[in-house]
Copies of this chain bind each other. A is one copy, B any other.
Amino acid sequence: MDLSHPERLSATDAARAVASGALSAEQLVQACLERIREVEPAVQAWQYLDEAHALAQARARDADRAEGRPIGPLHGVPVGIKDIIDTADMPTEDGTVLHAGRTPARDAAVVAQLRAAGAVVLGKTVTTELATYAPGKTRNPHDATRSPGGSSSGSAAAVAAGMVPLAVGTQSNASVIRPAAYCGVYGFKPSYGLISRHGVLKLSPSLDAVGVFARTLDDVALLAEQITGFDENDPVTRPHARLPFVQTLAAAPPLPPKLAFVKTPMWERTEPGTREAFSELVEALGASCEEVALPDSLAEAWEWHRTIMEAEMALHLDLEYERGRDKLSAPLQQQLARGREISALAYQRALGRLPRLLDGFDELFAKFDALVAPATTGTAPPLASTGDPVFGTLWTLAGMPALAMPLMHGADGLPLGAQLVGRRGDDMRLLRTARWLQMQLDT
């Protein structure tokens, strides 16, 4: 392991180096902070970062080790946290001036779990306005004229720019998948209910999910393993044994996986470069991958998602709308106004579609290990927009686990992601299939 540039290490290698004593947490964090000083002026991934506080955490982790206290799986490893996820020691401002200076009294459940695993909470990463569509200041690390995607803009960009090996984000539509794909890193949104949302800005509780960013699949597994689990404060989580993501990733699949390439009813929105790239990908996979047509009627699912999301946003951002409407972006104002007009009948109807939607996918997963779909319509768009979320919608609505994989590039040389989607609840099989896919394409 080359320790001359600790900031370039994967989280897995960094954790190993800190655990063995080959590297101190302080050296690791110091190297990340240096990298940040170098590239942050161009990328603008951080909403809050107190170097002294980060280093103090690192030194405390080093003291743990020196004094023989237990070492967690992320001991000394820095993690970036999206600024809609509460931290007791840093502000959490939700990407809106309406929440400027907001200082939560406690850590969100995921932050507490990360600290328990020994991680250094490096700082807060930029979010779009209230985790919706109006961009923050962050730029794409591959091209400063392009968007990093949203809403977890800073988390994706910080990982892609080598500032931090790991970051946490959230997704209610495509807010993990899209920025991961635009920035060329892995982005994993687990099954609905796998990670507690307690202490995370509520936008649409029927859709909201916490997700993770990393530069390697092993790192995705390492981070996800620390933050999944039951939390009595989030009623959609369920008691279950800790999911051994890392171990699962190391094991070979019992049978060679079968993949279904699904264009989804939104395929028309893809750019020509995306179509080409996917046609090459499917060809490279040969007999392992079969194109499967999803029913056209599924196009309604995007409308169900909009109904649920806007109706629930109208409730959970009601105070912001009532008291500070003029401080919200015009598109968000319009979205909230629309949400207030949705009837309880339409809202319940949309929610009522989910069981049958999942039954339909279950049939597919009897035959296939995972679905391959676009992650985005194309490569990162210009800064004015965070890009089209259309390829995140369906899997978020259905609560299915989804992984953005940085497998391709567009004609403009920018990263283009593929999205691997698993059966709801089968997150470990999804990651194991992703590892297999990666190895297929490497050979």
Q: A-side interface residues toward B, CB under 8 Å?
A: 311-312, 314-315, 318, 339-349, 352
Chain B residues with CB under 8 A of A314: 344-345
Chain B residues with CB under 8 A of A346: 344
| Chain B residue at minimum C-beta to C-beta distance from A308 | B344
Chain B residues with CB under 8 A of A311: 344-345, 348
- In the complex, given contacts A343-B344, A344-B347, A347-B348, what are 17 additional A-B residue pairs having Cβ atoms less than 8 angstroms apart? A311-B345, A311-B348, A312-B344, A314-B344, A315-B344, A315-B345, A315-B348, A315-B349, A315-B352, A339-B344, A340-B343, A340-B345, A341-B343, A342-B343, A342-B344, A343-B343, A347-B347
Provide the bound-state CA to CA distance between A340 and B349, in Å: 12
Provide the bound-state CA to CA distance between A352 and B263, in Å: 38
Q: Copy number of this protein in the oligomer? A: 2
Of A311, A348, A349, most B-chain CB atoms within 10 Å: A348
Provide the bound-state CA to CA distance between A352 and B316, in Å: 11
Asked if B349 and A345 sit within 8 Å, CB to CB, the answer is: no
Chain B residues with CB under 8 A of A344: 311-312, 314-315, 339, 342-344, 346-347
Provide the bound-state CA to CA distance between A339 and B343, in Å: 9
Provide the bound-state CA to CA distance between A240 and B346, in Å: 35
| Chain B residue at minimum C-beta to C-beta distance from A346 | B344
Provide the bound-state CA to CA distance between A359 and B345, in Å: 29
Chain B residues with CB under 8 A of A345: 311, 314-315, 318, 339-340, 342
Provide the bound-state CA to CA distance between A341 and B318, in Å: 20
| Chain B residue at minimum C-beta to C-beta distance from A347 | B344
Chain B residues with CB under 8 A of A312: 344, 348
